[in-house]
Amino acid sequence: IDPCKGYNVILLHHVTIQSSPNFTQHVREQSQVTDQVSRRLIRTYQLYSRTSGKHVQVLSNKKINAMAEDGDAHAKLIVETDTFGSRVRIKGAETGYYICMNKRGKLIGKRNGKGKDCVFTEIVLENNYTALQNAKYEGWYMAFTRRGRPRKGSKTRQHQREVHFMKRLPKGHQASEQHRHFEFINYPFNRRTKRTRYSSSR
């Protein structure tokens, strides 16, 4: 009330409410965009299959399986980062074929790995194994049976043993600076191993 004029004075304030940015959504969106500018991080390792007890290999006939012994030339994989996140392209060092997934969920080898079907997201699980989910077919994972044969991505789930892998340095390969922030295990494996033992030197 204004005592001089004897009537009410109503002051209106225009308040603009700006919502805080959704950081989680931003990270998710950025991790799905191919990075064409930054220098690609290239790693070399083997993928040990939890079910077959062998290593993933890329053969010259474009076939993929998990039947390779530790140190086999076809088990040596070159892994290239694709985004700011954990999406990678994986190819056989011996053959040059990329591991890809077709629309039927079958793992195949391709000379050109630029397609989204040749990109996998590395997911570190609670049991310290790594699952590889295809970027094009969400919910479909790289997986192998006990005999080392590829399993269709449409029949895979993250909790299944068939999709669990352990990254290992190739036999006789020494860790360089670019590998030091990754865990690699080089002790013997067998199919009866139920728990993964970690030893880290600090």
Domain boundaries, given as residue ranges, for the chain: 40-179
CATH architecture of 40-179: Trefoil (2.80)
- In tens, the pLDDT along 16-53 reads 445 455 544 544 454 455 545 455 689 999 999 999 99
Sign of the alpha-carbon dihedral angle for 177, 179, 184, 187: negative
Q: Could you tell me if 121 and 112 are in contact, meaning their C-beta atoms sit under 8 angstroms apart?
A: no
pLDDT (tens digit, 9 = 90+) per residue, 137-190? 999 999 999 999 999 999 999 999 999 999 999 877 655 444 444 444 444 445
